[in-house]
Amino acid sequence: MTDEVRVYVEEAPSQRREVVAPTDMALSLMEVLKASGYDIQATCGGMALCGTCHVEVLAGPALDEPSDDELAMLESLPVMTQGSRLSCQIRINNRLDGLVVRLMPQNT
């Protein structure tokens, strides 16, 4: 078992960037995406309170069900899709290898 996983960010249709994330640091996907240079505000610092780290999961392994707090935040956003998640609530672990996400726009 390796101590890192690969997550893919779809930056445009058919254009995916690989992001390598360590599994032994208890990071969230939001923290990994920020550290990889993505423009994520994460205003609340990872408490599922601001919705500024909204991503859409496009493919990959099944994730744990979102908590009520995460769902409540997602439902208050203008756009929510079947794959909507708050990246701050997704913990990086070995089961996430191959996850594909897209950053959701904060405003239209």
The residues of the shown chain that bind other proteins, judged by CB under 8 A, are 41, 43-45, 47, 49-52, 68, 71-72, 75-80, 106-108
- Burial code of 51-79, b = ≥16 C-beta within 10 A, e = fewer? bbbbbbbeebeebeebeeebbebbeeeee
Distances (CA, A) of 25 to 3, 4, 15, 92: 9, 10, 28, 8
Closer CB to other proteins, 27 or 96, in the complex:
27
CA angle 26, 43, 34 (to 5 degrees): 50
Distance, CA of 14 to CA of 65 (rounded, Å): 27
| Least spacing, CB of residue 2 vs other proteins, in Å | 31
CB closer to other proteins out of 36 and 106: 106
Q: How far is the CB of 56 from other proteins (least distance, A)?
A: 14
Closest approach, Cβ 53 to other proteins, in A, equals 12
**Least gap, CB of 76 to other proteins (angstroms):** 4
Nearest to other proteins of 3, 68 (CB atom): 68
